[in-house]
């Protein structure tokens, strides 16, 4: 500790920080026994302009959300700004720690910044450097706007974003287009910077960022960022639109005043508590959860799981495809005519590694194995299956084996007592045409699995009880007419494929709704199509059918699994990189 008093009255306690223009120290005013922060700016033409400007602008402002300037001194070739000492953390440190913040917390912070800027703008002061490093969060939840070093009076000569030395001032990533291009900047420039800050807080990333300052400025001037609710679907479209309006390229397309932005943000808040109280309570919860080493909410768990899945997405898809191919091979192998227990693992393990390292070849081997199994059921059916397999592999399996295998996994989903998860899931993921094809093909593969393996999934009404009970199918399909004759005797096989395809197509059509509510509406539409099909078609076909047992119970289980998956995967872009440190 330095015992020499600065300016004959301030006992320096510790340094707080140092930048290109100044350094800040913590000190005690011995005259009034008050802790203060002193910004020391070395003398110099540019430093003098900066010091005088900050002193004049902050002196005009008296607001609980703006740091208070007590005194301004010039001595020994230095300029001294004696300011209120603000306990707490700056927002940049908080964002580095938590990545992104809950929407309610974001709104509470932004409303307080709006109130500070509202006071500044009413006094003709434009901050021009709103960013996380210049916002400090106090222990009581208040937000303090700091560092008016590059602020300008609106009445000053042609308030531009360029200093007398033609240097662009401000932090590049948060700079408005008019600042970046050296044009006149008014209050709406602060509004743009606050919009960038909002984007950063809710998504975890910056709307405009590049490896170089020039690249960042180019994006600010020329590129449109993704809307926040497309980056993270937990963000409501209303809040997303507020942020998008705030960061519009043209000042005329933004909100006319900071008061208008504040009003919009207040409408988004679900709490009537004061913003400072919300900030205090929610930051306390986040810190407590971090100290405990566990996620504070179910949402934080979802984010961690989704982020991990996004990070290892390619590996998981490739491995999942190989495992799925091995499962299909393990089911099919016992039905081969030359099966022996010694070969029980040979085909599944071989197909697994082939699918893992050469997916198209692995899928081709699996199709060949399934065709051999169908040959065992009926040579004619085996030939038809082989021809279909060749066409299927050439059109879809060769280029997209991970997608092509999905219909073959429908029996596995049915075995897990969640049969309707398959048409609903493919309908939610793929386009209407592809989703309908996969769902219909999946229903067909399920029927074949029941025929070949003589399996009864308890919910299915595809086949007559006497066929499921153990009737062998060897040589049943001797020609094309016998195959058509069998399908005619089992119309539900085609009807079920049609119902699944219709449900998937309906959901695929609604994929344009990218929000969580939109996806839930799509699931509801698919559920409605399945319900109508399973309710109306069996009586039309004069089939005895227990609707509550054969449909409702497995449907509920399928919906539960699907909703959990939607909750986890609702944001495909959760692997968003963290924002670079602001300078």
Nearest alpha-carbon partner for 335 in 392, 382, 390: 382
Q: Are 82 and 38 a contacting pair, CB within 8 Å?
A: yes
In this structure, are residues 538 and 492 in contact, taking their beta carbons and an 8 Å threshold? Answer: yes
> Residue 354 and residue 105: Cα distance in Å, rounded?
50
- Residue from 129, 147, 190, 232 carrying the catalytic annotation: 129
Distances (CA, A) of 192 to 210, 451, 526: 18, 64, 42
d(CA 507, CA 520): 10
Whole-Å CA distances, 11 to 80, 86, 188, 219: 14, 17, 41, 47
Mapping DSSP to helix (H, G, I), strand (E, B) and coil, where does residue 37 land? strand
SS3 568: helix
User: What tokens were used for 303?
Assistant: 């984010």
CA 240 to chain centre: 13
Which secondary structure element, helix H or strand E, spans residue 122, and what is its range?
helix 103-122
**What is the rounded distance in angstroms from the CA atom of residue 523 to the CA atom of residue 259?**
40
Closest by CA to 281, choosing from 144, 140, 91, is 140
* 129 among known catalytic residues: yes
Residue 261 near residue 246, CB atoms below 8 Å = yes
Report the side by side order of strands in the sheet with 23-29.
5-6, 10-18, 23-29, 34-42, 78-84, 69-75
Nearest to 374 by CA among 470, 476, 275: 476
**Alpha-carbon distances, residue 446 vs 86, 407, 488 (angstroms):** 67, 8, 18
CA dist., res. 393 & res. 400, Å (int): 9
Cβ 84 vs Cβ 143: under 8 Å = no
All residues at 6 or more sequence positions from 156 whose CB lies less than 8 Å from its CB, including other chains? none
Our measurement of the distance from residue 540's CA atom to the centroid of its chain's CA atoms, rounded to an integer in Å, reads 45
State whether the Cα torsion 374-380-381-387 is positive or negative: positive
Short-list 145, 129, 130, 118, CA closest to 58 = 145
Show Cβ contacts of residue 297 under 8 Å, excluding neighbours closer than 6 positions.
Answer: 289
What is the distance between the alpha carbons of residues 349 and 507, in angstroms, rounded to a whole number? 36
Q: Residues with catalytic annotation?
A: 129
């Amino acid at each position: 500790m330095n015992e020499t008093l600065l300016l004959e009255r301030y006992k320096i306690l510790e340094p707080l920080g140092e930048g290109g223009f100044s350094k800040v120290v913590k000190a005690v005013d011995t005259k009034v026994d008050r802790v203060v922060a002193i910004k020391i700016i070395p003398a110099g033409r540019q430093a003098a302009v900066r010091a005088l400007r900050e002193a004049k602008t902050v002196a005009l402002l008296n607001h609980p959300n703006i740091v208070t300037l007590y005194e301004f001194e010039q001595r020994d070739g230095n300029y001294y700004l004696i300011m209120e000492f603000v306990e707490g953390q700056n927002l940049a440190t908080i964002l580095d720690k938590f990545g992104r913040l809950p929407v309610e917390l974001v709104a509470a912070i932004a409303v307080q910044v709006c109130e500070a800027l509202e006071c500044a703008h009413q006094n003709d002061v434009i901050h021009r450097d709103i960013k996380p490093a210049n916002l400090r969060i106090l222990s009581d939840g208040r937000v303090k706007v700091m560092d008016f070093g590059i602020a300008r009076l609106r009445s000053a000569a042609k308030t531009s974003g360029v200093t007398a030395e033609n240097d662009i001032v401000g932090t590049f990533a948060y700079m408005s287009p008019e600042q970046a291009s050296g044009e006149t900047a008014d209050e709406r420039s602060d509004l743009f910077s606050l919009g960038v800050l909002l984007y950063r807080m809710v998504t975890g990333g910056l709307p405009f960022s590049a490896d170089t300052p020039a690249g960042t400025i180019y994006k600010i001037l020329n590129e449109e960022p993704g809307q926040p609710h497309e980056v993270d679907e937990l963000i409501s479209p209303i809040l997303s639109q507020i942020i998008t309006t705030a960061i519009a390229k043209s000042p005329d397309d933004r909100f006319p005043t900071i008061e208008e932005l504040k009003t919009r943000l207040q409408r988004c808040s679900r709490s009537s508590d004061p913003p400072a109280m919300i900030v205090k309570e929610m930051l306390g919860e986040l810190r407590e959860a971090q100290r405990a080493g566990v996620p504070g909410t179910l949402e934080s768990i979802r984010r961690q799981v989704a982020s991990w899945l996004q990070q290892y997405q390619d590996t998981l898809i490739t491995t999942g495809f190989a495992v799925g191919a091995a499962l299909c091979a393990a089911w099919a192998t016992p039905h081969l005519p030359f099966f022996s227990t010694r070969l029980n693992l040979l085909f599944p393990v071989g197909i697994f590694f082939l699918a893992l390292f050469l997916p198209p070849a692995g899928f081709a081997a699996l199709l060949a194995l399934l065709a051999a199994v169908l040959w065992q059921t009926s040579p004619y059916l085996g030939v038809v299956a082989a021809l279909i397999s060749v066409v299927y592999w050439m059109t879809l399996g060769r280029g997209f084996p991970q997608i092509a295998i999905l219909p073959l996994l429908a029996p596995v989903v049915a075995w897990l007592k969640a049969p309707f998860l398959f048409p609903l899931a493919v309908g939610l993921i793929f386009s209407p045409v592809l989703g309908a094809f996969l769902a219909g093909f999946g229903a067909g593969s399920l029927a074949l699995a029941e025929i070949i393996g003589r399996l009864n999934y308890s919910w299915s009404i595809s086949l007559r009880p006497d066929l499921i009970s153990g009737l062998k199918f060897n040589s049943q399909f001797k020609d094309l007419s016998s195959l058509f004759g069998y399908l005619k005797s089992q119309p539900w096989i085609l009807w079920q494929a049609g119902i699944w395809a219709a449900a998937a197509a309906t959901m695929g059509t609604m994929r344009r709704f990218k929000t969580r509510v939109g996806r839930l509406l799509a699931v509801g539409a698919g559920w409605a199509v399945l319900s109508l099909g399973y309710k109306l078609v069996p009586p039309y076909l004069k089939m005895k059918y227990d609707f509550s047992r054969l449909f409702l119970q497995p449907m509920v289980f399928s919906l539960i699994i699907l909703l959990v998956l939607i909750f986890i995967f609702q944001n495909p872009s959760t692997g968003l990189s963290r924002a670079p440190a602001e300078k």
